[in-house]
Amino acid sequence: MKNTDVKLPHGPGFQLVDAVISTETSPDTVIGSYTFTGEEEWRATDHFPGKPIMPGVMMIEAMAQNAIQIAQSKPGLEDKLFIFQGADKVKFLSQVTPYTTLTLSATIFWTEENRRGFANCMIVHDHRAIAEATIHFVVMKDRTKR
């Protein structure tokens, strides 16, 4: 995958990965980026008005969306829908303020070949860990079919 090849099923107002910086297939790892503006359509401006910060739940969503980038690059999974099943080992280590560019990393591990897995994820800014979590997901039918 080359830089900026972001492929997500979400609409533009809910995409939390701006660019794919690099991918590796051994192990299945992806590095992406996202710039939090504080003016996102999901109303970050209302999350502490006057001093907006990125909500923790949106950090988890950004980590999950980044993980999808490497999972859907596996042969046979390109058109599948990846459904978030949960998160554990979640740690929020710092606040994210507007106009912060985050580096997102995820390494995927499959528990059932091409059906279910988890990703060890991290968000970093200026070489400092911002958040980390293990994201669990399941692979569903083709995303083009309802």
Give me the active site residues, please. Answer: 47
Cα 21 versus chain centre, distance: 13
Block residue for tokens 């992806």: 30
| End-to-end Cα separation, the chain, in angstroms | 27
- In 37-99, DSSP assigns E strands to 80-92
Block residue for tokens 């859907």: 72
